[in-house]
Amino acid sequence: MPVIVVGADTDVGLAVVEALSSRAAELRAFVSDPRAGTELKARGIKTAVGDVSDAGHVGAAACECFGAVLVGAAAVDARERAFADAPEAVLAGWAEGLADAGIRRAIWVLPRAMRVPTIPHATEVAVVDGEAPPTEIAREVARLDDLPSLGPGPGP
């Protein structure tokens, strides 16, 4: 089942892509950095380059994906964001775009202080501690991605 990693050009996102690249039937990456996009494409990963604060960009890249890994670091780092600056607004945009794309499974990688947005239609939700080392995060994301079901996840 296709999986997209939003924020694949962060340290955590790259570790997650590495962990999932041999597992996912189809792995996609959403990045802001065109150089990172070129490197991921060279590895055979379907890659979209766009503005992480644009719900439409994220949703279009996730079209026909079953699952998404959402790396919160891409909502708080120094990258340019044209549509939203506040991390909460960026995450809400991701939720909107992924809802439009029909995502069913969401794995959020967030710092403990960040609130998990609700993605309508996502019946499986998990949250991974975004403050852990990237390799630990990637291992946990891969473990979760392998599960037949994640369950409904945290409430609003």
> 81 is written with which tokens?
């964001």
Q: Given this model, what pLDDT does residue 1 score?
A: 80
151 occurs within a structural domain: no
Residues for the chain: how many in total?
A: 156
152 occurs within a structural domain: no
Mean pLDDT by 10 residues, the chain (156 residues): 94 96 85 94 94 91 95 80 77 92 94 86 90 97 92 60
153 occurs within a structural domain: no
CATH for 122: 3.40.50.720
Question: Which runs of E-coded beta strand occur in 41-136?
Answer: 46-49, 67-71, 105-110, 124-129
138 occurs within a structural domain: yes
**3-state per-residue secondary structure call for 2-45:** CEEEECCCCHHHHHHHHHHCCCCCCEEEEECCHHHHHHHHHCCC
> 103 is written with which tokens?
């995502």
Instruction: Tally the C-alpha atoms within 13 A of residue 116's C-alpha that lie toward its C-beta.
Output: 23
Residue 15 phi, psi dihedral angles, 5° rounding? -65, -40
Q: Given this model, what pLDDT does residue 24 score?
A: 60
* Contact criterion met (CB below 8 Å) for 106 and 96: no
156 occurs within a structural domain: no
Report the number of distinct structural domains present in the chain. Answer: 1
74 occurs within a structural domain: yes
50 occurs within a structural domain: yes
Q: Given this model, what pLDDT does residue 7 score?
A: 95
Query: What domain range includes position 138?
Result: 3-146
